[in-house]
Amino acid sequence: MGQDGFRVPSRIHDIGSLVVQTKQWSSKPSVEDLWMAYLLVCVPAERTNDEIHALQSWFYQEVEEQGYELLLSL
């Protein structure tokens, strides 16, 4: 947790909406595309680079652990 109370989420909320958004941008979406959708939709613009990197690390781990990349191929 940072000085302003920043902490990485415990789970990705509303993954279905992110997958739908990602599929609108790309005909063959990747996990990187899913990350960009998450970044644009869920991460406030005032986050620092360190906070964004922490979120990115958490995001890729969460995607792998939960198998969310399978949703991209549906």
* Nearest residue to 35 (alpha-carbon basis) of 9, 49, 15, 50: 15
Residue 17 has pLDDT above 90, yes or no: no
Rounded mean pLDDT of the chain? 85
Sorted by sequence, the CB contacts under 8 Å of residue 9 that are 6+ apart come out as 58
Question: For residue 18, what pLDDT band results from cuts at 50, 70 and 90?
Answer: confident
Model pTM? 0.79
More confidently predicted of 37 and 10? 37
> Residues 8-17: what's their mean pLDDT?
81
d(CA 10, CA 21): 22
> Residues 17-31: what's their mean pLDDT?
87
* Nearest residue to 59 (alpha-carbon basis) of 26, 20, 32, 27: 32
